[in-house]
């Protein structure tokens, strides 16, 4: 039994598991509809939107692919800066879509200017952005990029906020984001298997006009069923019980307090890194507040550090992802962590460092 | 708090919820791989196959659609006999596929002869069958239909065993089934959100040659990741803990005993129906053993019966589905029910009938 400080899935609290253990209910009736409806206000507050939220029984890649399937009639521009954002481009290609990309080195952020220059080439009707690239710890300039995309009429913006949702404020409506999606196993601190997403009116209109959308990921089906507080397919009921619970916890804490807590917990890890001369992989000004990605110093046995931390103290951190595996390591501070629990981790890491 | 005797989701046992409440683990490591591997033997036994099983984080419609996307290069024949099998045809159309159907009245079973006659028209490369049509309580003649399909070279057979899997023996390899899939919220007695499926070699080969398969539902990705005991996308870890648990329960009971138990429990409901002159909606010889669908007798207030049963005894049965809502009612005996718990339901129903 080890506690996870990896950037998702993360530690799930006993009270969340208790909520998830409520007896099953049928999903085509008033009880489920009330459950579904109860999730809306806090999700909307976290996203800065008055648009409804949809509950999709799948991990985030499902909705990331669905956004392409429902909204890309011409050509998608994928903004690529790490394992997950790079992969979104591959997924577009695997679907047979026309796709192009802005590619920066892993560890760098996407610049709004580069997006502008690419969109000026013309022919695009969709842009995908990962707000917080979980593989590198880079948080992109959502506001700057959204402003650029919105200056190109007919180009919709899909934002994956998987590892930023509920950790930092997001203003979907004010920024003109057309699809905002998040997996629940990151800062929402639930087990994986559910993705929440919201759609602008323009996204719904675009989807309605798209042929061959299929069924499971058809946005129009989500809208139609959502109007009755329901889902197109059988939903992950236990996870939605868990979601209802955690949204209640978030409301009780207050979203502003939650954001401040993530920032403060993250600062503790940055401070710890500085003390031990671990360099941040993400550049100043574009650092995630939900996870931290450090360079592995030359000659330092990262693998032994991670193993001992787990064996001796029962804490799990992550040794990098994809092509920077081993070259970086990552520590999450998402979810329910407090200054006290972060300090426990820091004390343990200090003990292992000796 | 009412106990569900509807045909899915069904009652989930406290020990299953306890298994689902195990602390999170990362999904890209040895612990998850061991968890994944542990599910294989019993799933394979239940399916009568030596082929690997895949764990898809979505409800069954996802894999039902995926089968079309990965395997239909020419034209699909959908065998339609109720709400869910009819819908599979609509889903094929919604994807822009060439599709045709064998359609029988709801409450009737698909005849192998009709399948043969339709396939002889030529041009098909895929057939979809729902083994146990949950909306009507009809169990189709899987063996007879599989034999027909296998006599047409190049035609693959997809079988949805959502509400029959682990309730009746299925011989995937012997019958030459190419895709066998099941949702876990039926006879496996887990909360919804996970679908298990297996693929024949021919299905894998067909998928490899299909263009534009996308990512989330790409069978080739499932095969590639499955070889490493992993999944393409972040898996529903808690549900897989639950699956591991219930498969252990099934192994301890013995699959033959489990099948016999479902049959005996089902017979109790049939017997109860006879005593009260409720007529079975499904024809003799094609009746499901995991749920029973009865005609609503003329003049009988079904809705009052269902409401009182819930209010007075805390048991929930279902008042029909889709276009036979109100005209039929359904009682499930799937999962962990015993003669004793079935008798409790029967006593309660008798009490309400007066």
- Helices A60-71, A219-226: inter-axial angle, 10-degree rounding: 110
Q: What is the pLDDT of residue A1?
A: 76
**In terms of Cα–Cα distance, which of A328, A266, A331 is closest to A300?**
A328
Q: What's the structural domain count of chain B? A: 2
Q: Which residue of A has its CA nearest to B17?
A: A21
Q: What is the pLDDT of residue B298?
A: 95
- Distance, in Å, from the CA atom of A204 to the CA atom of A219, rounded to the nearest integer, reads 7
My answer on whether A70 and A167 are in the same domain is yes
My answer on whether B240 and B279 are in the same domain is no
CB atoms within 10 A of CB A276: 12
Which tens digit of pLDDT belongs to each residue from A41-94? 999 999 999 999 999 999 999 999 999 999 999 999 999 999 999 999 999 999
Which residues of chain A are within 8 Å of residue B309 when distances are taken between CB atoms? none
The pairing of beta strand A99-103 with beta strand A53-56:
unpaired
- Name residues whose C-beta falls within 8 Å of residue B304's C-beta, 6 or more positions apart in sequence: none
My answer on whether A84 and A218 are in the same domain is yes
Task: Supply φ then ψ for residue A104, to 5 degrees.
Answer: -120, 165
- DSSP letters along A119-159, please? HTT----EEEEESEETTTTEEP-HHHHHHHHHTSTT-EEEE
My answer on whether B272 and B297 are in the same domain is yes
- Distance, in Å, from the CA atom of A29 to the CA atom of B318, rounded to the nearest integer, reads 11
When CB atoms are compared, the residue of B6, B95, B238 closest to A26 is B6
Q: What is the pLDDT of residue A172?
A: 98
Q: How confident is the model at residue B238 (pLDDT cuts 50, 70, 90)?
A: very high
Last residue of a domain, which of A251, A285, A308? A251
The pairing of beta strand A126-130 with beta strand A156-160:
parallel
- Cβ atoms of residues B232 and B62 within 8 Å: no
Averaged pLDDT, B170-198: 98
Q: Which residue of A has its CA nearest to B57?
A: A58
Q: What is the pLDDT of residue B320?
A: 95
What is the C-alpha radius of gyration for chain A, rounded to an integer number of angstroms? Answer: 20
Entry pTM = 0.98
Averaged pLDDT, B281-307: 97
Last residue of a domain, which of B196, B230, B251? B251
Show the beta-strand stretches assigned E in chain A.
3-4, 53-56, 76-80, 99-103, 126-130, 132-133, 138-139, 156-160, 179-183, 195-199, 291-295, 315-316, 328-332
Three-state DSSP class for residue A266: helix
Whether B211 and A96 lie within 8 Å, measured CB to CB: yes
CB atoms within 10 A of CB A277: 9
Residues in A 15-44 with any Cβ partner in B closer than 8 A: 17-18, 20-21, 23-27
My answer on whether B186 and B235 are in the same domain is yes
Q: What is the pLDDT of residue B1?
A: 76
My answer on whether B86 and B221 are in the same domain is yes
Q: With pLDDT > 70 as the criterion, what percentage of chain B qualifies?
A: 100
My answer on whether B233 and B287 are in the same domain is no
- Cis peptide, bond prior to residue A332, ω within 30 of zero: no
Task: Supply φ then ψ for residue A277, to 5 degrees.
Answer: 65, 30
- From the candidates A58, A318, A331, which should be mutated to test the interface with B, based on the most B CB atoms within 10 A? A58
When CB atoms are compared, the residue of A94, A185, A215 closest to B234 is A185
Distance from CA of A266 to the nearest CA of B (A): 21
- Cβ atoms of residues A213 and A197 within 8 Å: no
The pairing of beta strand A99-103 with beta strand A126-130:
unpaired
My answer on whether B174 and B102 are in the same domain is yes
pLDDT tens digits in sequence order for chain A, 354 residues long: 799 999 999 999 999 999 999 999 999 999 999 999 999 999 999 999 999 999 999 999 999 999 999 999 999 999 999 999 999 999 999 999 999 999 999 999 999 999 999 999 999 999 999 999 999 999 999 999 999 999 999 999 999 999 999 999 999 999 999 999 999 999 999 999 999 999 999 999 999 999 999 999 999 999 999 999 999 999 999 999 999 999 999 999 999 999 999 999 999 999 999 999 999 999 999 999 999 999 999 999 999 999 999 999 999 999 999 999 999 999 999 999 999 999 999 999 999 999
My answer on whether B35 and B152 are in the same domain is yes
Q: Which residue of A has its CA nearest to B1?
A: A23
Which residues of chain B are within 8 Å of residue A76 when distances are taken between CB atoms? none
**In terms of Cα–Cα distance, which of B258, B260, B333 is closest to B290?**
B333
My answer on whether B228 and B344 are in the same domain is no
Last residue of a domain, which of B233, B251, B269? B251
What is the overall mean pLDDT for chain B? Answer: 98
**In terms of Cα–Cα distance, which of B242, B235, B191 is closest to B19?**
B242
What domain range includes position B337? Answer: 3-7+255-353
- Name residues whose C-beta falls within 8 Å of residue A83's C-beta, 6 or more positions apart in sequence: A106, A133, A134, A135, A136, A321, A322, A323
The two most distant CA atoms of chain B are separated, in Å, by 62
- Distance, in Å, from the CA atom of A140 to the CA atom of A104, rounded to the nearest integer, reads 12
Q: Which residue of A has its CA nearest to B186?
A: A234
Whether A215 and B23 lie within 8 Å, measured CB to CB: no
Q: Which residue of B has its CA nearest to A220?
A: B94
CATH code for the domain in which residue A119 is found: 3.40.640.10
- Distance, in Å, from the CA atom of A114 to the CA atom of B222, rounded to the nearest integer, reads 35
- Distance, in Å, from the CA atom of A51 to the CA atom of B20, rounded to the nearest integer, reads 33
- Name residues whose C-beta falls within 8 Å of residue A68's C-beta, 6 or more positions apart in sequence: A76, A91, A92, A95, A97, A126, A128
My answer on whether B212 and B76 are in the same domain is yes
CATH code for the domain in which residue B328 is found: 3.90.1150.10
CB atoms within 10 A of CB A134: 28
Which CA distances in Å does B232 have to A61, A135, A217? 9, 17, 17
My answer on whether B224 and B259 are in the same domain is no
Residues in B 198-237 with any Cβ partner in A closer than 8 A: 211-218, 232-237
């Amino acid at each position: 039994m080890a506690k996870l400080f990896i950037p998702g899935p993360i530690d799930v609290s006993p009270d969340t598991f208790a909520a998830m253990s409520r007896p099953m209910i049928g999903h085509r009736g008033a009880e489920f509809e009330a459950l579904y409806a109860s999730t809306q206000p806090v999700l909307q507050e976290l996203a800065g939107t008055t648009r409804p939220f949809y509950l999709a029984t799948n991990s985030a890649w499902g909705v990331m692919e669905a956004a392409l399937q429902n909204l890309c009639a011409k050509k998608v521009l994928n903004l690529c800066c790490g394992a997950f954002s790079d992969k979104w481009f591959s997924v577009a290609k695997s679907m047979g879509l026309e796709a192009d990309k802005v590619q920066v080195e892993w560890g760098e952020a996407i610049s709004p200017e580069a997006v502008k220059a690419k969109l000026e080439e013309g022919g695009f009707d969709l842009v995908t952005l990962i707000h917080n690239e979980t593989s590198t710890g880079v948080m992109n300039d959502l506001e700057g990029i959204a402003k650029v995309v919105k200056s190109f009429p007919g180009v919709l913006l899909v934002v994956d906020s998987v590892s930023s949702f509920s950790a930092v404020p997001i203003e979907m409506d004010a920024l003109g984001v057309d699809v905002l999606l998040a997996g629940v196993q990151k800062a929402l601190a639930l087990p994986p298997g559910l993705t929440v997403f919201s759609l602008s009116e323009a996204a719904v209109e675009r989807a309605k006009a798209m042929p061959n959308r299929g069924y499971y990921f058809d946005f129009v089906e989500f809208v139609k069923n959502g109007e009755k507080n329901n889902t197109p397919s059988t939903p992950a009921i236990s996870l939605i019980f868990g979601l209802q619970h955690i949204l209640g916890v978030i409301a009780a804490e207050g979203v502003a307090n939650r954001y401040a807590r993530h920032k403060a917990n993250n600062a503790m890890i940055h401070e710890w890194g500085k003390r031990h001369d671990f360099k941040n992989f993400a550049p100043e000004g574009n650092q995630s507040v939900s996870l931290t990605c450090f360079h592995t110093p030359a000659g330092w046995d990262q693998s032994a550090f991670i193993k001992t931390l787990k064996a001796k103290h029962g804490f799990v951190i992550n040794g990098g992802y994809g092509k920077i595996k081993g070259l970086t390591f990552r520590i999450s501070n998402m979810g329910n962590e407090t200054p006290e629990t972060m300090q426990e981790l820091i004390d343990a890491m200090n003990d292992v460092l000796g």
